[in-house]
Amino acid sequence: TGMITLDPGYKNTGSCESAITYLDGEQGILRYRGYSIEDLADKANFLEVSYLLVFGELPTQDQLINFENDIRKYTLIHEEMKDIIDGFPKSAHPMGILASLTSALTAFNPRPVNVSSEKEIYNAVCKTLAKFLVLATWVHRKREGYPLSYYDNTKGYVENFLHLMFAIPTEPYKENPIIVDALHKLFILHADHEQNCSTSTVRIVGSSHAGLFASISSGVSALWGPLHGGANQAVIEMLEAIKNDGGDVEKYILKAKDKDDPFRLMGFGHRVYKNFDPRARIIKKAADEVLDALGIDDPVLDIAKKLEKVALEDEYFKSRNLYPNVDFYSGIIYRALGIPSEMFTVMFAIGRLPGWIAQWIEMRSGGEPIGRPRQIYVGENLRSFVPVDKR
């Protein structure tokens, strides 16, 4: 064990070779399969990017049409899944329900994916993208007391997200193109981020040859935490709290700097980005544009901007290279689209899904060995057992 290097949080450990996402934290560069995030967020749609991440190349027109159609084949959910959904209390957090439902899919799809078959992989990708989207929106509908909805085959994947979330049986749902565009952009920006906590979780669970749904389910659980994807919900709650507290951002900056106070500035800081998070830049701009286009004036956006400004001028944040991350402004857009804050991390999960799938396939196809880190033992030396009546 003399050879083991200790690296808590794997801050300097590469766990794999990967050809999916390139990230340069010093320069704020993020690329999927060689395409810059700025280019993709501006010009691509979410399914194109999903295809790119999973299969390595942008789809041709035909491939994209087929992909959309093949996803449609899997959008029906087993009726018995509804009983499982009914079992959750109304107060359950959407991420907990989503992780459970994703895991429950294994019960209805018990056969493992044969990773040496391209056809099986392709079908598994379509199936996962299809079922996850429907279940994610059902979590919302159940909590709101709406009847469950079905995928509309005349619409695209992102349009279906809106339809599945918000359609009511008595009125056709008409989506707003501003909202559709914003969603494509947000999902694309979340679609992959190399070996982050949830993706590493998906890979390590999959490395034991556990199934795709089981691996994705653990990714959802990892994403839920407030230091990871759960930050987007925490940000909006923090901004609301500041607003209700009279908008005194300086007070919260002081709290965040106070080492005796567990409070952190949510949506700030990143393990890898040390100058800026390119996703946050795009989202900040999009927040302005979307709210403007929808004619929404959200005082929380002003608080966020003020908070960012004060933090970026503060020595504490400067010296630690803490900048707004992807979660800082995203919630403000979600809110403008009518998505409740407890669903924000589910939005992140829908966006991250193609990345999880791509990374799982890469790991399995590459024949990676089981993930099994070592440790440095710091516990007791050998002791003799003492019977309970002698302790």
Site residues (CB under 6 A) for ligand CMC?
Answer: 9, 196, 227-229, 231, 256, 264-271, 320, 322, 325-327
The nearest distance, CB 327 to ligand CMC, in angstroms, is 5
| Burial class (CB within 10 angstroms; exposed 0-12, middle 13-18, buried 19+) of 321 | middle
Computed on alpha carbons and rounded to an integer, the radius of gyration of the chain in Å comes to 22
- 363/232 Cα distance (integer angstroms): 28
φ, ψ of residue 32 to 5 degrees: the values are -100, 120
* Nearest distance in Å: CB 259, ligand CMC: 7
Minimum distance of ligand CMC from residue 331's CB (angstroms) = 11
Looking at beta carbons, which pairs linking 241-245 to residues 24 or more positions away fall under 8 Å? 242/303, 242/307, 243/299, 243/300, 243/303
How many DSSP H helices and E strands does the chain contain? 17, 3
Least Å distance between CB 5 and ligand CMC?
18
Angle, vertex CA 275, rays to CA 273 and CA 277, nearest 5: 50
- Whether the CB-CB separation of 135 and 101 falls below 8 Å is answered with yes
User: Which backbone phi and psi does 10 adopt, to 5 degrees?
Assistant: 50, 40
Which residues touch 97 (CB under 8 Å, ≥6 apart)?
85, 88, 139, 142
Give every CB contact of residue 10 below 8 A, 6+ residues apart in sequence. Answer: 200
What's the DSSP call for residue 171?
Answer: B
Closer to ligand CMC by CB, 118 or 261: give it.
261
Q: Is 24 one of the catalytic residues?
A: no
Tell me how far, at minimum, the Cβ of 149 lies from ligand CMC, in Å. 28
d(CA 74, CA 72): 5
- CB of 103 or CB of 325, closer to ligand CMC: 325
| CA gap 320, 292 in Å, rounded | 33
CB of 51 to ligand CMC, least distance (A): 24
CB under 8 Å to 354, separation ≥6 — which residues?
49, 50, 53, 54, 129, 191, 192
Q: Is 327 a catalytic residue?
A: yes
242 touches 371 (CB < 8 A): no
By beta-carbon proximity to ligand CMC, the closer residue of 175 and 327 is 327
The residue (of 40 and 256) whose beta carbon lies closer to ligand CMC is 256
Nearer to ligand CMC, 68 or 327 (CB): 327
Task: Give the nearest residue (CB) to ligand CMC.
Answer: 269
Q: Which of 163, 192, 270, 277 is catalytic?
A: 270
Give 124 or 343: the residue with its C-beta nearer to ligand CMC. 343
Sheet of 29-32, strand order: 21-24, 29-32, 35-36
322/333 with CB nearer ligand CMC:
322
Residue of 192, 277, 314, 327 with catalytic role: 327
Active site residues per annotation: 270, 327
